[in-house]
């Protein structure tokens, strides 16, 4: 990322291009307001829209994907993605206001026959902060179901964007060519504050089959308590320099440095996350924040990987896609999840990740302008 915008925001230009819009087509904005993060997706036809006030590009560019068949009419122009901490929602509102994102497109509501300032929104915060959006921006939030948006977003990415899905093995990303005729069913594991596991059978056909409360919010919450870090990204950065073996009890610690070959456990396998803290006469201050963050990240990633594979096994699913802002393209997170899926499946399954992992819900909400009433009557 070449640069981050001010006030804990991060914006990037996806580079996803659809059909060229006509001169009277304008941008739309959709938001996904989660427990920890707010995610924004908006489109623009202005080639300079991804530039800051000095003309310097402040976003990362991804591959261009033409949509010659116009399968997604609402996705015209260039897509942009941004995120904010939910606790700093006023910064998000200021960002929207400064770019006039809420004024660029006026959505024609068929039920009333009137043009209204409406933003498509999903996530629990769409209910929690509806009054604040009305007060600060003068817009109403048109709430779209969270699970519908997640599935719609990932189906669009897997069907229309390449490269999008990839495996992460031994420190290497390998992009996967998706066979659109053999995509379904698959398991979507969305790791946000908590974790949802969704069996997807097709467009609009899905079932939430499992989940866990131990997710990104757990990592961030425990991390703040144990390390005094100020942000999720700071906690991730600390894990780069940590050594979880200082805190985790390994199989080798129990068996005198030896493997437990009879049941397939190596000496370096974790027998108990944070287990050494029980047997050592140390206080919290005796452990480095880096080691704590590494152990915590390893614990949660392993747990999610294991539960995900067990649910895939339960339904006979071979494809497992992981999304959500917990991952953030973080090498150690992806590696840990991949190793967990490989271990529990005995090599029969692979974890797959998504380049636009954190914006599935927001992208699905954006697309709902088309599926829930965008009739082309848009005015500036």
Let me know if residue 169 belongs to a domain. Answer: no
Question: What is the spatial distance between Cα 279 and Cα 259, in angstroms, rounded to a whole number?
Answer: 21
Q: Looking at the predicted structure, is the pLDDT value of residue 345 above 70?
A: yes
Based on the domain organization, do 309 and 365 belong to the same domain? Answer: no
Based on the domain organization, do 83 and 18 belong to the same domain? Answer: yes
Tell me the average pLDDT across 200-204: 93
Supply the pLDDT for residue 266: 83
Both tokens of 316, joined, read 């006979």
Q: Looking at the predicted structure, is the pLDDT value of residue 261 above 90?
A: no
Supply the pLDDT for residue 27: 62
Q: Is the pTM of this model over 0.85?
A: no
Tell me the average pLDDT across 331-350: 92
Let me know if residue 35 belongs to a domain. Answer: yes
Q: Looking at the predicted structure, is the pLDDT value of residue 12 above 60?
A: no
Whether the CB-CB separation of 65 and 16 falls below 8 Å is answered with yes
Let me know if residue 226 belongs to a domain. Answer: yes
Q: Poorest-confidence range of 27-36, 54-63, 149-158, 272-281?
A: 54-63
Paired residues of 293 in beta bridges: none
Question: What is the spatial distance between Cα 114 and Cα 379, in angstroms, rounded to a whole number?
Answer: 11
Tell me the average pLDDT across 271-292: 93
CATH code, domain with 144:
3.30.420.40
Question: What is the spatial distance between Cα 25 and Cα 124, in angstroms, rounded to a whole number?
Answer: 30
Whether the CB-CB separation of 380 and 104 falls below 8 Å is answered with yes
Looking at residue 321, what DSSP letter applies? E
Supply the pLDDT for residue 161: 84
Highest mean pLDDT: which of 25-34, 260-269, 357-366?
357-366
Tell me the average pLDDT across 229-243: 92
Question: What is the spatial distance between Cα 126 and Cα 31, in angstroms, rounded to a whole number?
Answer: 8
* Residue recorded with tokens 């999840």: 337
Let me know if residue 72 belongs to a domain. Answer: yes
Let me know if residue 380 belongs to a domain. Answer: no
Tell me the average pLDDT across 219-229: 95
Please give the residue range of the domain that contains residue 345.
216-247+287-354
Based on the domain organization, do 27 and 91 belong to the same domain? Answer: yes
Based on the domain organization, do 144 and 34 belong to the same domain? Answer: yes
Supply the pLDDT for residue 100: 84
Question: What is the spatial distance between Cα 312 and Cα 334, in angstroms, rounded to a whole number?
Answer: 18
Phi, psi of 33 (to 5 degrees): -105, 100
Based on the domain organization, do 137 and 226 belong to the same domain? Answer: no
Based on the domain organization, do 142 and 220 belong to the same domain? Answer: no
Based on the domain organization, do 71 and 87 belong to the same domain? Answer: yes
Question: What is the spatial distance between Cα 153 and Cα 363, in angstroms, rounded to a whole number?
Answer: 5
Q: Looking at the predicted structure, is the pLDDT value of residue 70 above 70?
A: no
Tell me the average pLDDT across 322-330: 91
Based on the domain organization, do 322 and 367 belong to the same domain? Answer: no
Based on the domain organization, do 225 and 143 belong to the same domain? Answer: no
Q: Looking at the predicted structure, is the pLDDT value of residue 376 above 70?
A: no
Let me know if residue 161 belongs to a domain. Answer: no
Based on the domain organization, do 226 and 344 belong to the same domain? Answer: yes
Residue 159 burial by Cβ neighbours in a 10 Å radius (0-12, 13-18, 19+) = middle
Let me know if residue 5 belongs to a domain. Answer: no
Based on the domain organization, do 322 and 365 belong to the same domain? Answer: no
Supply the pLDDT for residue 26: 41
Q: Looking at the predicted structure, is the pLDDT value of residue 46 above 70?
A: no
Tell me the average pLDDT across 54-68: 34
Q: Looking at the predicted structure, is the pLDDT value of residue 340 above 80?
A: yes
Q: Looking at the predicted structure, is the pLDDT value of residue 25 above 50?
A: no
When the pLDDT of each residue in the chain is averaged and rounded to a whole number, the result is: 81
Tell me the average pLDDT across 98-119: 63
Q: Poorest-confidence range of 33-37, 120-124, 220-224, 297-301?
A: 33-37
Whether the CB-CB separation of 235 and 229 falls below 8 Å is answered with yes
Based on the domain organization, do 366 and 344 belong to the same domain? Answer: no
Percentage of the residues of the chain whose pLDDT score is greater than 70: 78
Is residue 18 very low, low, confident or very high in pLDDT (cuts 50, 70, 90)? very low
Let me know if residue 222 belongs to a domain. Answer: yes
Tally the domains of the chain: 2
User: What would the 3-class secondary structure string for 200-242 be?
Assistant: EEECCEEEEEEEECCCHHHHHHHHHHHHCCCCHHHHHHHHHCC
Q: Looking at the predicted structure, is the pLDDT value of residue 7 above 50?
A: no
Is residue 45 very low, low, confident or very high in pLDDT (cuts 50, 70, 90)? low
């Amino acid at each position: 990322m070449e640069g981050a915008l001010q006030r804990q925001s991060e914006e990037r230009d996806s580079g996803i291009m659809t059909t060229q819009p006509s001169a009277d087509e304008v941008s739309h904005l959709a938001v996904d307001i989660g427990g920890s993060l707010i995610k924004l997706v908006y489109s623009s036809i202005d080639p300079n829209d991804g530039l800051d006030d000095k003309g310097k590009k402040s976003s990362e560019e991804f591959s261009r994907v033409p949509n010659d068949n116009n399968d997604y009419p609402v996705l015209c122009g260039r897509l942009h993605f941004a995120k904010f901490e939910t606790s700093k929602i006023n910064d998000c509102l200021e960002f929207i206001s400064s770019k006039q994102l809420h004024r660029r497109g006026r959505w024609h509501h068929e039920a009333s026959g009137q043009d209204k300032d409406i933003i498509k929104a999903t996530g629990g915060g769409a209910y929690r902060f509806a009054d604040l959006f009305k007060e600060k921006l003068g817009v109403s939030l048109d709430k779209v179901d969270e699970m519908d948006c997640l599935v719609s977003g990932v189906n669009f990415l897997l069907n229309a964007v390449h490269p999008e899905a990839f495996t992460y093995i031994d420190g290497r990303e390998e992009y996967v060519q998706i066979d659109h005729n053999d995509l379904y069913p698959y398991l979507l594991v969305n790791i946000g504050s908590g974790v949802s596991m969704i069996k997807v059978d097709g467009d609009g056909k899905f079932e939430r089959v499992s989940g866990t409360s131990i997710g990104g919010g757990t990592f961030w919450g425990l991390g703040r308590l144990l390390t005094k870090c100020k942000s999720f990204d700071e906690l991730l950065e600390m894990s780069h320099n940590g050594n979880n073996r200082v805190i985790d009890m390994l199989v080798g610690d129990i068996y005198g440095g030896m493997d437990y070959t009879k049941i397939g456990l190596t000496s370096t396998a974790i027998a108990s996350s944070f287990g050494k803290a029980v047997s050592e006469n140390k206080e919290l201050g005796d452990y480095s924040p880096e080691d704590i963050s590494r152990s915590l990240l390893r614990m949660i990633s392993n747990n999610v990987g294991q539960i995900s594979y067990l649910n895939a096994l339960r339904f006979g699913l071979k494809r497992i896609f992981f999304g959500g802002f917990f991952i953030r393209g973080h090498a150690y997170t992806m590696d840990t999840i991949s190793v967990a899926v490989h271990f529990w499946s005995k090599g029969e399954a692979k974890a797959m990740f998504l380049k636009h992992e954190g914006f599935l819900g927001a992208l699905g909400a954006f697309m709902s302008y088309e599926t829930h009433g965008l009739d082309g009557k848009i005015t500036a």
